[in-house]
Amino acid sequence: MKRLLPLLLVLLWGQNMLLAQKAVLVRTQYESYAIDNQTDSLLPDRKESREYYTFLHFNRRKDTLFVHKKDTPKDIAQKDAFSYFLTTKKIATDKLQLLIGDKNRTDTLLFHFENPNIIRVNRDSYILSDEYSHFLKKKIFKKRDIATILDFLDDQLGDYFIDTEVFMISTKDKYKKSLKMNGGTIINEADTTVYSTLYAAYDDKGLQMLGRVDTNEPQLPFSLDKKRKYIDADKLVFEIEEQTPKNNATYTQEIYFSGEKFIEKGEYTQYGLNITTFYTKTIEKIKNN
């Protein structure tokens, strides 16, 4: 893949210049502070405040997305520049690759249906409702629609390493249409003997809860537990807890169906350091062409 990467970048960027259509500029604002749990005192060297911008633009077919991240809007305005890309490559009728790369390396996610209701992403598997299976077969395998792929992955249950900002252009269809994922298995990339099981529950308003249990941590009731706190016509709010033997995080995610805004607020505790960090992350569209 490395030998083909320069050619792939040239082809993708040439396609982008000819066919570029939709562009979105988002601003990320992040603030945090930390306390020493033993003394209940603020830690000045762990206070942080930063702002940066991400420019997202599709080609016309919406099967390729270019991502450009910079500290100021002025830097973003540079022409013919991107930090990395996401693009799709069809392998067979029921197999598709999502390539995520920059000038140095490319990572690959392979999507394919193991049977009519189980979709695999690399080694991970997701059990879907009939409606969701039919929907993904049309939108992902026929149309190669990246916004739908991102919508499917936005819970980030596996190790897919996609920036939160990129999910601002996901369709939100699985929430709007109440498309159901009923369970599955996540395989550890470093050690394939270690895996996590997934669980989910739905009601008449859509996704009610979603979670992950790690088989190598039997002392923990879950590694991820996500519950719906609030929903209306404009937004959806989840309460989430993540835990490992070394740390614990609790936070809320406020997702706007319009894709205009995403807010995450929470705290995480590092047991070894006995430090708790409190943070707020706001991602907001400021330009949409």
What is the pLDDT at residue 207? 95
**What 8-state DSSP symbol labels residue 73?**
H
| pLDDT bucket at 288, cuts 50 / 70 / 90 | low
Mean pLDDT of the chain: 90
- Closest-CA residue to 126 (of 111, 107, 106, 109): 111
Cα–Cα distance, 79 to 66 (Å, whole number):
12
What is the pLDDT at residue 10? 45
CATH architecture of 5-288: Beta Barrel (2.40)
Cα–Cα separations (whole angstroms), residue 51 to 65, 70, 120, 260, 264: 22, 9, 36, 17, 15
0.85 exceeded by the pTM? yes
- pLDDT 10s digits, 26-85: 999 999 999 999 999 999 999 999 999 999 999 888 899 999 999 888 777 665 678 999
| Cβ neighbour number for residue 287 with a 10 Å cutoff | 13
- One-letter amino acid at 80 equals D
Residue 238 burial by Cβ neighbours in a 10 Å radius (0-12, 13-18, 19+): buried
